[in-house]
Structure 1
């Protein structure tokens, strides 16, 4: 009887624990495609949708940005648009989720064209006609559970300061039909001007 008392709480805990959801974006490799074949990229998550591109069978480090509602397809960017491939032919790369701040990111937007490269603890901001500006992350925060897949940064460097918020959301760059899995809002006060940007982020 004592043994059952000890085991039962463990069983109940395992049943109550939620399954770890797939986090986007992440890297995946082509798997299960014959050496003389290709993996089709389709316009919609359907085997009958038009083919808009192909991926060689030995391709690795594909950035996956989303999944279909039925979980059978994965979204990725191909050229100037997004497309869909069958999930059965992709194998996820082991990597930490992007919101853990251990994954390099590249963020960008338009009007004006700007970009931010992120390495853990450091940002580099590039603007047209200007030298890259190095910015340190003075403070950061992310939900420990990852339930919201959000990062907040307090930024400072070179006389500039501000903050940025990155969230898991479908994001369009405004220049193509590509879809990204991370949106960024970037606010920076410099000695010359106040900058407010909105854009998208990808794995770097």
Structure 2
């Protein structure tokens, strides 16, 4: 089951997908084209290449972060939470509305600073390994590195039952050029697809 109201639109999804996969190769091509006469003379202008790549890494990291968020949002019954500090996470709806303990979150550790999005994941999916229904019951925080084409994915496991207790934590690294859908499907042992408004969902 997914939350259809959290579907994305084709323009947004397509734009981030193109930027995610194309930015780094394009940066290298532009550098090679611009400095080709110098490269032939073995003058490689590596500082300029570094500048091109740094910009490409920032675009790629943010695009990958945005793509992961679109996949995760489909499995959240709540609005996502945008934060830049751990104190923002601790004072967010996680504690004020959803009933999680601030002390528990602190004890398991939170990313300190960065461009972050917080999701309360709660959904029933089909396990890829067991081929039977399983419940996703997690807090997930994504954080873009920006200086490298990497996104942190913090997964906090929530206990089943009436009490909302955090019972475990895992940290994953989403690294270019991994597929966002395949990455999440592997880590959560469930089929993660994206749902585009007006069209059927498709894995990416």
Q: Would you call these one fold, judging by a TM-score over 0.5?
A: no
Higher strand share: 1
Higher relative contact order (CA 8 A, sep 6+): 2
**TM-score, with structure 1 as normaliser:** 0.27
Decide which structure has the larger Cα Rg and report it: 1
**TM-score, with structure 2 as normaliser:** 0.27
Higher helix share: 2
